[in-house]
Amino acid sequence: MTRREEIIKLLEKEPTSAQQLANFFKVELFEILGDLGHVRSSIKPRKLKMIPAQCKHCGFKFEERSKIKKPTKCPRCKDERIMAPLFEIE
């Protein structure tokens, strides 16, 4: 089974961050980000749902963001403690 197939199985079970996937597969984060882009297009008609990143300080949710990568700074309070977005397959 390929890594992308395993990612699909993991995301069907529970929401997971890209960093958690990178740690699980012992690869760099950029490789997982690339895999998630491919997974998004290969699972149609199902969808890769992204639970938005959230600021740990003020609670701002990055709901309008479509990028897979974690934001670096909160636009509201400028804090850099951001919870990574979670991914799941619907």
Q: What is the pLDDT of residues 48-87, one digit of tens each?
A: 999 999 999 999 999 988 888 889 999 999 999 999 999 9
pLDDT value of position 82: 95
The DSSP bridge pattern shows strands 54-55 and 82-83 to be antiparallel
* Number of domains the chain is built from: 1
> Mean pLDDT over all residues of the chain?
93
pLDDT value of position 86: 95
**CA distances, 9 to each of 19, 34, 74 (Å):** 17, 17, 32
What is the extent of the structural domain holding 10?
A: 3-89
Please compute the mean of the pLDDT values over residues 31-54 and round it to a whole number: 92
List, in sequence order, the alpha helices (H) in the chain: 3-13, 18-25, 29-42
